[in-house]
Amino acid sequence: MVDPFISPRQLFAWADHNFINIKRRLKSFDEERPYTYIVEQDAETGEYIHKVRLLKSIPPEISLLTFDVVNALRASLDQSIFASGVVLLGREPNGTKFPFGADETEARKDAYRKRSEADPEIIDRVLSFQPYNAGDRLLFNLNKLRNMKHHRIIAPVLVQTGSIKVTGGTFVSDGPFAAMSMNNAVEWDASKNELTLFRTGTPKSQYEIEIGVRISFTDRTAFPNSDALTVLHDLFHKVQSVLVAIEEETVRLANARGIPITFD
């Protein structure tokens, strides 16, 4: 018998390969410095608003790669349940899937849809990870994210990655406001692709600032406006722990039941 767990391992490895590509392509895009600094005067207060505007859209392959990562991680969970059935039944099982649901009861029902031949003890082990809305939201939301259209998954975001350094002079207040104000000023406007940095009086100096381009999941997803790389990193650790647990439990059950495990 060919090791049936090769399939989920390959899917996980493929997701990891694409995750590395996402980070590499995003780094390359960031190094292009695809943004410009702008200063606009607030017509109501007279203050000068200092902003950075993103000039280019993120390369479409980054969205596609993100979509592939999510799908490969999700599919690896299904394939792991299937692989477990192959070992414990000695043949390909019918109707297996990785269960999700609103709560544990619904997730357990989901595990046995379509007359699934998934092993009950394997399902018990899987449900210990709480893949439901009332349990582990990270794992549960992976399933929701999988059903999104790829072009709606992520969006670019400009973020301040370093400190603002003002050099060579001052900002002069020409009205009833501070010469320089940063209180609650840093704000990302997705509709304009602009990051507001701070407000000042009449600019009389130069300043330096470090800006970086990041990607976040859109507000339509299960991870609204969350940093995409951080979420994917967390999902990798979560899925890996589940895959390892399923394989280990399969081996334990096979040994306990006297089922020989011999792979080509």
The answer to whether 242 and 139 have CB atoms below 8 angstroms apart is yes
**pLDDT above 80 (res 212):** yes
pLDDT in tens, 168-188: 445 565 555 555 565 555 678
Q: Check whether 195 has a pLDDT greater than 80.
A: yes
CA pair distance 69, 46, nearest whole angstrom: 48
Q: Give the pLDDT confidence of 87-105 residue by residue, as tens digits.
A: 999 999 999 999 999 999 9
Tokens of 54: 């993103």
pLDDT higher at 141 or 156? 141
Quick: pLDDT tens for 41-81.
888 888 888 889 999 888 889 999 999 999 999 999 999 99
CA 218 – CA 103 distance, rounded (Å): 25
